[in-house]
Amino acid sequence: MDLARDLAVEPIAAFDDNYLWLIVRGAQAAVVDPGDAEAVLRRLRQQGVELTAILVTHHHGDHVGGVAQLASATGARVYGPRGEKIPACDAALAGGDRIDVLGIGFDVIDVPGHTRGHVAYHAAAQRWLFCGDTLFCAGCGRLFEGTAAQMSVSLARLAALPDDTRVYCAHEYTLANLRFALAVEPDNGALRRRQSECSALRSGGMPTVPSTIGDERATNPFLRCAEPAVRRAAERRAGRPLPDATEVFAVLREWKNVF
């Protein structure tokens, strides 16, 4: 078997709009943010693969709810952020750490903002990014525990990855995010094309993820805070000049919260 070719990332739909990401290589698998153990166990049985690793980005229940059950049922090793309480965690990680899962090297990136200890997992050779609730298609996570400044830095770290990096986020929020993005940048042609493409996918029952870093840089307002059109929209919303991109981000995030 050619394990380099026999490699896939597959979504497992859970709850109302979550994606749990199953990475399959040969007869083994890893899962990212398994909020629902039963959904993962069903897929493992269907495909006849063994779960050997669990990667967790942050502590919210829809991301960790199935971790303990899966670890107990399969013996999978659990990786999670050092700064958060993760069930059954075997390896506590922080930015700059590197792990090997299924023979794939993952770099750990600190991305606080949504939660204080949130991390992302980047497989550079495969051009994969598992970013939890930090970066969404055309959007970003709410600031439940962190600050706008922290999230701005976190998103900049992700935006600096190669354009062809595939973004495996954890929720199907794309169409709602695109509606907001068009309120910010109504003259952005790339946004309108993306909205049409994603609407067609959802009409066909297909996920809109993964996207790519290139897609996000072109259409995600939270990665475009230095763009003049985005800044002008944020300033109109705020009713005042905004001194820097972090202030633009903060206004956009508050606007999106009530959009």
Is residue 58 among the annotated active site residues? yes
**Is the Cβ–Cβ distance between 228 and 184 less than 8 Å?**
no
Is residue 171 among the annotated active site residues? yes
**Which of 60, 118, 122, 215 is labelled catalytic?**
60
**Which of 36, 59, 110, 114 is labelled catalytic?**
114
**Is the Cβ–Cβ distance between 133 and 139 less than 8 Å?**
no
Is residue 114 among the annotated active site residues? yes
**Which of 33, 62, 110, 215 is labelled catalytic?**
62
What Cα–Cα distance (Å) separates residue 105 from each residue in 46, 100, 101, 113, 235? 27, 5, 7, 25, 42
**Which of 36, 110, 133, 215 is labelled catalytic?**
133
**Which of 33, 36, 171, 215 is labelled catalytic?**
171
Is residue 118 among the annotated active site residues? no
DSSP-assigned states of every residue in 84-136: S--TT-SEEE-TT-EEEETTEEEEEEE--SSSTT-EEEEETTTTEEEEETTEE
Is residue 59 among the annotated active site residues? no
- Rounded to an integer, what distance in angstroms lies between the CA atom of residue 22 and that of residue 148? 31
**Which of 33, 36, 59, 63 is labelled catalytic?**
63
No. of helices (H) and no. of strands (E), the chain: 9, 14
Is residue 122 among the annotated active site residues? no
Is residue 60 among the annotated active site residues? yes
**Which of 36, 58, 110, 215 is labelled catalytic?**
58
CB atoms within 10 A of CB 1: 8
Which residues are designated catalytic? 58, 60, 62-63, 114, 133, 171
